[in-house]
Amino acid sequence: MKCDLIAFAIVALPFSALSQAYSDTVNLSLKEVISIARERSTAVVKAATLAESQYWQYKTFKANYNPQFNLEGFLPQFSKTNIPVVQPEGTVEFKPVVNDNSQLNLGLTQNIGLTGGQLFLGSNMLRFRDFERGQTRYNGNPLVIGFNQPLFAFNPFSWDKKIEPLRYEESQRRYAEDLESISRGSTELFFNQLLAQINAEIATKNLVNHETLYKIGEVKAKLGRLSKDELLRLKLGYLNARKAVAQAQVNAETSALQLKSFMGFSSLNPLKLLLPETLPKVDIPETQALKEARENRQQSVEFTRSLLEADKEILKAKGEAGLKANLYGSFGLTNAAGDAAGLFRNAKDQQVIRLGFSLPIADWGKGASKVKTAQANKKLVKAGVEQAKLDFDQEIITQVKQLNVIKEQMETNKDADQTAAERFEIAKKRYLLADLSITDLNIALQEKDQARRDYILSLKSFWTSYYNLRVLTLYDFEQGKKLSFLKNMQ
Sign of the C-alpha dihedral computed for residues 429, 433, 437 and 438 taken in this order: positive
With a CB cutoff of 8 Å and minimum separation 6, the contacts of 54 are 167, 168, 171, 172
pLDDT, residue 93, reads 87
State yes or no: pLDDT of 453 exceeds 80: yes
pLDDT, residue 488, reads 54
In CATH, the architecture of 2-58+161-210+248-307+380-482 is Up-down Bundle (1.20)
With a CB cutoff of 8 Å and minimum separation 6, the contacts of 382 are 307, 310
Read off the pLDDT of residues 335-353 as tens digits, 9 standing for 90 and up.
888 787 777 888 888 888 9
> pLDDT above 70 covers what percent of the chain?
94
Are 421 and 389 in contact by the 8 Å Cβ rule? The answer is no
Question: Of 319-328, 359-368, 376-385, where does the model show the most confidence?
Answer: 376-385
- What does the alpha-carbon distance between residue 320 and residue 459 come to, in Å, rounded to a whole number? 59
- What does the alpha-carbon distance between residue 23 and residue 468 come to, in Å, rounded to a whole number? 35
pLDDT, residue 58, reads 92
Per-chain mean pLDDT for the chain? 85
| pTM: predicted TM-score of the whole model, two decimal places | 0.77
State yes or no: pLDDT of 274 exceeds 50: yes
- What does the alpha-carbon distance between residue 47 and residue 175 come to, in Å, rounded to a whole number? 6
- What does the alpha-carbon distance between residue 163 and residue 191 come to, in Å, rounded to a whole number? 41
- What does the alpha-carbon distance between residue 284 and residue 257 come to, in Å, rounded to a whole number? 35
Q: How confident is the model at residue 307 (pLDDT cuts 50, 70, 90)?
A: very high
Average pLDDT over residues 108-112: 91
Q: How confident is the model at residue 32 (pLDDT cuts 50, 70, 90)?
A: very high
Domain ranges (residues) in the chain: 2-58+161-210+248-307+380-482, 71-112+117-153+325-359
